[in-house]
Amino acid sequence: MRVLLVEDDSDLSSRLAASLRMESFVVDIARNGEDAQHAGLTEIFDAAVLDLGLPKIDGVSVLKSWREANRSFPVLILTARDGWPEKVASFKAGADDFLTKPFKVEELILRIRALVRRANGHASARVTCGPLTFDAQLGTFEYDGMPLKLTALEWRVLSCLILRKEVVVDRRELTERVYDGDAEVDSNSIEVIIARLRRKIGPEYIETVRGRGYMVTAAS
């Protein structure tokens, strides 16, 4: 899950990014509205956390520009403002959720996971594909009812695939969702991770679609 974190308070953004990365999220940080607008229009994200009071361009205007460009990733508004007019403006601009400062980081993480899950068409927190189950709210995997131990990169790849189960996920899209923007990525890195996952859950549950990407499937 790749998240765009838009927050001009450098201490808060650094702390939130560290907490999200501890939960295996890939996090891009923007500290002003101009950079946030550009990132949301040009990069792939599963969700965005957007502060309203930003330098250069305000948060509502940033959100409007994303929606006008048909950027549909879910957006959680994060703000110190608790007034009803700000909430109305945010939701009219296309926001999906709203969290007022101060807040618990644990709640922020749960809300992001719920937004990403629903954006991928899953009403239930538990997503099942064959013997594999992903609890999208807790971020845990089970295989045949037993906990599945994964590295952070394996978790990122498998969560991306199972949230889009039975759908081919482009290799480039996987790479962008798995690695931080400044990471040095070998050309075969995704293939290595896929190979490790196949050893853990069985090769029949991750299908390679030549020239396109990968798909988690219940077919065995």
pLDDT tens per residue across span 182-193: 656 666 788 999
Q: Looking at residue 185, what is its pLDDT?
A: 62
Q: Are 155 and 24 in contact (CB under 8 A)?
A: yes
- Res 182: pLDDT: 61
Task: List CB contacts of 182: < 8 A, sequence separation 6 or more.
Answer: none
| Residue 70 in this model has a pLDDT that exceeds 60 | yes
Instruction: Tell me what percent of the residues of the chain surpass a pLDDT of 70.
Output: 95
pLDDT in tens, 11-61: 999 999 999 999 889 999 999 999 999 999 999 899 999 999 899 999 999
Distance CA 95, CA 146 (A): 37
* C-alpha span between 33 and 58 (Å, rounded): 6
* pLDDT digits 0-9 by tens, 100-153: 888 999 999 999 999 999 998 888 889 999 999 999 888 899 999 999 999 988
179 pLDDT exceeds 90? no
Quick one: pLDDT at residue 220? 56
